[in-house]
Amino acid sequence: MAKILSELHLLGTESDLSSERGVSCTGDLPEPSDPKMVERAIAAKAKLGDRALILGHHYQRDEVIEFADITGDSFKLARAAADRGDSEYIVFCGVHFMAESADILTSPKQQVILPDLAAGCSMADMAAANQVKDAWKIFEKLGIAQRTIPITYMNSSAAIKAFTGENGGSVCTSSNAERAMRWALEKGEKVFFLPDQHLGRNTAVLRLGFSLTDCVVWNPWKANGGLTDDEIRSAKIILWRGHCSVHGRFTIENVNEMRSRVPGVQILVHPECQYEVVSAADVVGSTESIIKTIENAPQGSSWAIGTELNLVKRLAQDNPEKQITFLDKTVCYCSTMNRIDLPHLVWAMESLVRGKVINQIQVPEKIAKAARVALERMLALP
């Protein structure tokens, strides 16, 4: 078994590293778990054997990833769960919406477990089903609903996916958002994109050639979404007012500062970042794409990466021949992803060993059926 955690500083000047110490969100990894906890994890995993499939999202702590059978982004892991029909238990080390997707795509015989029920997603929480339905009623009143195709990001609740399925739309990931939007615009005249305004805007403007004025932002906390009827009718892309609490914090100032400090650095960011950041980046890609970009980069190349800190640190550790740093050292770990730690994983596995299923995620069949339609539409995209 490889060492669970090791001290790792991202490349930078010694003064940079010194100034980080003693400050919250320093970028230093948490202390390794008690060795006895590691031993318990090894023992519990061995006793469960093939009965349990442990899935670890790329943003998880190293101490959790160490015990994952499969690592990946949210949709890759949900697909992996569906492909492993022989596993009785799916222990999903990620966040709530990911475990929901796994439950939707797996068989009724399989049970999906989230080690910590508090592991949610701030972006997914920014779009409540009742708010989305209220917005749709206004679209119906204005006569645009029948010409509007909803596209919901994977980072959304099962209820939002169900709404999308019921109204002729599709789910998308950060890697196929362009394909999903093109499909939607072939079916209708407008796209209702939720819940991440940044991914929607970046895809529409930078990939599909729309202008910023073609896009409007629907604010669920304001009457009529904070828009006039004419603004809603004339818009091509209606963006839900949501964002990722990590990716949304990277700024154009971060990009400019990094370029001035590190000559020849290449900026690599996730499409959930703000439009100005994505526009100024050298490479933009999904989580899986970011990993592949670094793996395929030439030795000695220099990269500043704008995505979750656990992943950036792991990339730096796994690619020591490349200079990898975090785009903004003041941005914290994803707090909800980090809810799942080794003690929670051990508790979940040891409970299963004792025959007790804890924190099972079950999507009501009515919601699951409609959400599955939206997910299947995504899988059927050309």
**Do 103 and 53 belong to one domain?**
yes
Domain with 228 in it: what CATH number?
3.40.50.10800
Residue 370 lies in a domain: no
Residue 105 forms part of a structural domain? yes
Q: Is pLDDT of 9 > 80?
A: no
Q: Is the pLDDT of residue 224 over 80?
A: yes
Q: Is 239 a residue whose pLDDT tops 90? A: yes
Within this chain, do residues 259 and 319 fall inside the same structural domain, yes or no? yes
pLDDT at 169 over 80: yes
Query: Both 227 and 131 in a single domain?
Result: yes
Tally the domains of the chain.
3
Would you call 268 helix, strand, or coil by DSSP? strand
pLDDT band at 192 (very low <50, low <70, confident <90, very high): very high
Q: Is there a domain that residue 379 lies in?
A: no
Which of 199, 226, 244 is the endpoint of a domain? 244
> Same domain, yes or no, for 262 and 319?
yes
Give the mean model confidence (pLDDT) for residues 119-128. 92
**Do residue 285 and residue 341 come from a single domain?**
no
Q: What is the pLDDT of residue 247?
A: 92
Cis peptide before 382 (omega within 30 of 0): no
SS3 assignment, position 72: strand
Q: Three-class SS of residue 305? A: strand
Write out the residue range of the structural domain in which residue 258 sits: 247-326
Q: Mean of the pLDDT values across residues 85-107?
A: 93
Asked which of 203, 219, 244 is the last residue of a domain, the reply is 244
Average pLDDT over residues 133-160: 97
Q: What is the pTM of this model?
A: 0.86
Q: Does position 8 have pLDDT exceeding 50, yes or no?
A: no
Shared domain check, 43 and 99 = yes
Is there a single domain that holds both residue 145 and residue 240? yes
Residues 38-55, mean pLDDT to the nearest whole number? 96
- Are residue 105 and residue 167 in the same domain, yes or no? no
Strand (E) positions, the chain? 52-57, 70-72, 89-93, 111-113, 148-153, 170-172, 190-194, 215-218, 237-240, 266-269, 283-284, 302-306, 323-326, 360-361
- Count CB atoms within 10 A of the CB of residue 119: 25
Q: Dump pLDDT digits (tens) for 318-331.
A: 999 999 999 987 76
